[in-house]
Amino acid sequence: MFVTDFIEKVARVSKALTTKSPAVPDVHKHAVHNPQRYRGMHEIDYETCIGCDSCNKICPTNAIEMKKLPFKKQNIVPEVNLSVCIFCGLCEDVCPTKPKKSIKLSGGRYDMLTGGWHEDQDSFWVNVDIPEEYIKSRLEAEEADRVKKELAKKKREAQAKAKAEAESKAIL
Ligand code: SF4
Ligand code: SF4
């Protein structure tokens, strides 16, 4: 009995030492944290977000902070502190943008696994980094829209003035 146990143990240890597959799978190749119910970290689309603040208001743990953007409209976008987020998904549920939610839990991606420790809460955020070109083009579009509205307003005022003058002449 003793000899059999000993031989079995030796066989198990030898197999463990010589096997080629690692004890822990490479999570970047095999999404082990990818069950159907795993909701993953947030994806935030700054292009479709309308800055309504609903996700921030509904978050039960204050995990969301709205980042200010240099635009006149749609000038805030959410960022998420994953160290206090409870992954309830309410932010995604309440987001009104269609057909795609501007904030959504990525559904099974394993990006939250990192190689090291997070030294503080600030290193565990889903941040939104907007490229300079996008900011420039949005600002240009806003300025073009402002000029267009200004011209339309002047045109309306001129038409109203001309109409009033024509009416006063008709009375005389
Ligand atoms: S998943 Fe829930 S807790 Fe996390 S940011 Fe969204 S609303 Fe807040
Ligand atoms: S609810 Fe959606 S549209 Fe509104 S601020 Fe949040 S991400 Fe943007």
SS3 56: helix
Distance 152 CA to ligand 2 centre (A): 31
Is the predicted pLDDT of residue 44 greater than 90, yes or no?
Answer: yes
Task: Please tell me the residue having the least CA distance from ligand 2 atom 6.
Answer: 55
CB 78 within 8 A of CB 66: yes
pTM: 0.71
82: nearest Cα among 119, 46, 127, 48 = 127
User: Which pLDDT tens digit goes with each residue over 4-42?
Assistant: 888 999 999 888 888 776 666 666 666 555 566 778 889
